Structure 1
Amino acid sequence: MSTAPNPVIRTVAIVGGTHGNEFSGIYLQRRYNAEPALMQRPSFSCRTLFANPMAHQANKRYLDSDLNRQFKTADLADPSRCNYEQSRAKVINAELGPKGAAKTDFIIDLHNTTSNMGPCLILTQPGRIYNLLAGYITLKMPEAIISRDEDHFAAEDHALLCTVGTYGVIVEVGPQPQSVLRQDVLEQMHEMTQHILDFIEHYNNNTLPQLPERVEAFRYLHSIKLPLNAAGERLGMVHKNIQDRDYQPIVPGQPLFTLFDGSEICYEGKEVVYPTFINEAAYYDNNLAMSLNEKVWIEVK
C-alpha cells in the first residue's frame, strides 16, 4: 500500500507516569529502558520519559494539579502557573517540545483507567497520519477502540501532554484499579505500543499494508455528573446496567442512575450515545459519572 510520503518521523518519546498512580505505563517504560530493542526501529530514535515521578512516589494521581491538563500553549508561557505539576509541564515542554516547534516528532502517552474500556487509542488531532494509524491499529488489534477526543481543537488549545509533540496519541487501557498492576492490561498496553512503533516504521518506509477503507471511532461530546443535591452531596450512583458497559449504546429513556431512595434517573437525550470512563475513580473529585460520545467513521484513505 503506497500511502506515506518521505520519512518525517525521526524522534519518538514513550511517556509513562503522567498520572502517578497509573502503574502500567510506568512499568512498561521501565521495561523498555531495560530492553531498548523493544522500542527501537531502524528509521527513528525512541526514548522514554517518566513524566511525574514525585506523584508516583507519593502514590497519587498528582500532587497539586493534574499534569495532563497543563499543556495549553498559553499556560506553558504563563509564569504565574508555578505549582509542582505546572512547573513540571514547563520542564517536559522544554525537553520534548517546545510545543509548536517540537524536537519530538511523535509522543505516545501511556495511561490506565479504572473503567472497563479495554485497549483504547485516543487521537487528539485530525490528519492523514492519524487516519492511517487508526486503520493500522484496527487491522492489527481489532479489539482496540479508536477514540477521537476533541480532535476539532487546535493543538495549542489542547491541555494534554501528548500534544507537545508534532504528533501525539494516548494509549488508554483498563479496567485497572489505581496503584495496581494487572497482567492482561499491561500486555494490552505493550501490544498497542508495539503496533504504534511498527506503524511509524512502515509509515517512514512507505511499506504500510493494505488498510481498511474506514474504521469505526468514537468522538467525545460531553461529560455528565452524578446526581447531587443543592449542597453538592451525591444522591445516587451509576445504574448497574450501565456499569462496565463502556462504548455500549445508551438509548433515550434508558436508566442512567439509581438514587439511594431506589428511584432512577433516565437519559433524556434524543440521540443514541456511547459512554466512556464510566465511574472512573479519578473523576470522583469532580463528581463526573461518565463521558458521552457519538459514533463516527474515520476515512483511512
Structure 2
Amino acid sequence: MCALPVPREPLRRVAVTGGTHGNELSGVHLVRHWLRAPGELRRPSFAATPVLANPAAAAACRRYVGCDLNRAFTSGFLSAKASPDDPYEVTRARELDQLLGPKASGAAFDLVLDLHNTTANVGTCLIAETAHQVFVMHLCRHLQLQTPELPCRVLLYKQPGEESYHVGSVAKNSLGLELGPQPQGVLRADVFSRMRALVASTLDFVELFNQGAAFPAFEMEAYRNLGGVDFPRTADGDLAGTVHPQLQDRDFEPLQPGAPIFQLFSGEDVCYEGESTVYPIFINEAAYYEKGVAFIRTEKFTFSVPALPALAPTPTLVP
C-alpha cells in the first residue's frame, strides 16, 4: 500500500465540526455546548476548536438551506468568483475553507473531526477517504480499541478519480463520525453520549501522538464504497417500491446475489443481481431519497497499515 505522508510535527490545529447537516442534532448540540464550555476540548499540548459548520441550517433544523454543505468543498465551488446568487452553503464552504484551510495548503488545520448522524442502522461508523491515510487509520484503530464491546466499522468512501468534496477535505487529515440510527431533528441521549466519548478518545489519541507515543503496524478490516443503488421507480420517477423487510436495518451485513432488496408496491420482490457478495450501508437513509440512493454497496477487505513512528515529546502548553 502506498501510504500518504504522516505528520512529522505535533498536531496543534484540530477542529471538531458539527451541524454540517443542520438536522443531525448530536453534533449540533455538542458543538453548541463546547462553544460555551470549551475546556472539554483541551489537552496539555493543544486545544481543539469547536465549529458549528452550518449555522443557518442548524437554526432551521434542516439538512441544508440551499445545497448540501458536505458536497460543496470542490475546487470549482471554492475557486469560483462569489456571486449574490450563490447558495448559502457555497458561501459558507468558502468561509470554512478560509477558517480551516485553505484546502491543500500547508496552512490548513492538522485534523478536522466532523460529526454526523444517520437514520440508518450503521451503529458507529468511522468515515475516511482512503486506506493510504496512515495517521487516520491509526486513529480509527485507537477508537475501535476503546469500545471493543461495540462494532466500530471503518468506511473508505472515496472512489478512484473522485475529488474530495466534504468539509474535512480542507484539512491535512480528517475523519467523519457517523452514528445512528437517529431520526432527523431528534436528539437521543445514547447516541449523543457515544459521540461525545468518541470525540474525547480522538483528542486523547492526538495527545498521545503529540507526546511522542509510537504505534505499531497492524492489519485493518474496512469497507470500500462501490456506489449507490436507487429505488425502483416508475416512468415518471416516482417510487415504485421500498426497501425489502429482509434488507431493512441490516447495514454492514452480507448481501448475497439473488437476495431480495426491494418490495414493489404491486407486491413483487426485486432481488440483487450482482455477481458477488456486497455489504450494504446507509440502508433507507432519509437524506438520500433526494440523491436517488436506497443504499450504498460496499466490499469488505483487509489491508496492512504501517507503523506510526514517534515524534519527539512536545512541551506542555501553559494555560
Structure 1 position 96, deviation (Å): 1.0
| CA contact 2:230–2:295 (8 Å) conserved in 1 | yes
Structure 1 position 45, deviation (Å): 2.6
One-letter amino acid matched to 2:50: T
Aligned residues: 295
Question: Aligned partners of 2:303, 2:178: CA distance in 1, in Å?
Answer: 19
| CA contact 1:131–1:299 (8 Å) conserved in 2 | no
Residue 261 of structure 1 corresponds to 266
Q: TM-score, normalised by structure 1?
A: 0.93
Residue 191 of structure 1 corresponds to 197
Question: Aligned partners of 2:250, 2:222: CA distance in 1, in Å?
Answer: 16
Residue 149 of structure 1 corresponds to 157
Structure 1 residues 244-267: Cα deviation after superposition (integer angstroms, max 9, x where no partner): 111001001000000111101100
Superposed, 1:146-185 pairs within 5 Å as: 146-150=154-158, 152=160, 157-185=163-191
Structure 1 position 80, deviation (Å): 5.6
Structure 1 position 30, deviation (Å): 2.2
| CA contact 2:57–2:65 (8 Å) conserved in 1 | yes
Structure 1 residues 152-186: Cα deviation after superposition (integer angstroms, max 9, x where no partner): 557xx211001111111101100000000001111
| CA contact 1:134–1:215 (8 Å) conserved in 2 | no
Question: Aligned partners of 1:268, 1:239: CA distance in 2, in Å?
Answer: 15
Residue 72 of structure 1 corresponds to 74
Instruction: Report the CA distance shift for 1:276/1:210 in structure 2 as closer, same or farther (over 3 A).
Output: same
Aligned equivalent of 1:204, options 189, 210, 230: 210
Structure 1 position 103, deviation (Å): 3.3
Runs of 5+ consecutive residues of structure 2 not aligned to the other structure: 1-5, 307-319
Question: Aligned partners of 1:80, 1:268: CA distance in 2, in Å?
Answer: 45
Q: TM-score, normalised by structure 2?
A: 0.88
Superposed, 1:4-83 pairs within 5 Å as: 6-79=8-81, 82-83=86-87
1:132 aligns with 2:166: no
| CA contact 1:247–1:274 (8 Å) conserved in 2 | yes
Question: Aligned partners of 1:148, 1:122: CA distance in 2, in Å?
Answer: 6
SS at match of 1:276: coil
Structure 1 position 193, deviation (Å): 1.2
Residue 246 of structure 1 corresponds to 251
Residue 234 of structure 1 corresponds to 239
| CA contact 2:154–2:223 (8 Å) conserved in 1 | yes
Question: Aligned partners of 2:153, 2:45: CA distance in 1, in Å?
Answer: 27
Instruction: Report the CA distance shift for 1:166/1:73 in structure 2 as closer, same or farther (over 3 A).
Output: same
Question: Aligned partners of 2:183, 2:194: CA distance in 1, in Å?
Answer: 15
Identity %: 39
One-letter amino acid matched to 1:128: V
Question: Aligned partners of 1:76, 1:5: CA distance in 2, in Å?
Answer: 25
Question: Aligned partners of 1:227, 1:191: CA distance in 2, in Å?
Answer: 39
One-letter amino acid matched to 2:156: R
SS at match of 2:43: coil
| CA contact 1:21–1:179 (8 Å) conserved in 2 | yes
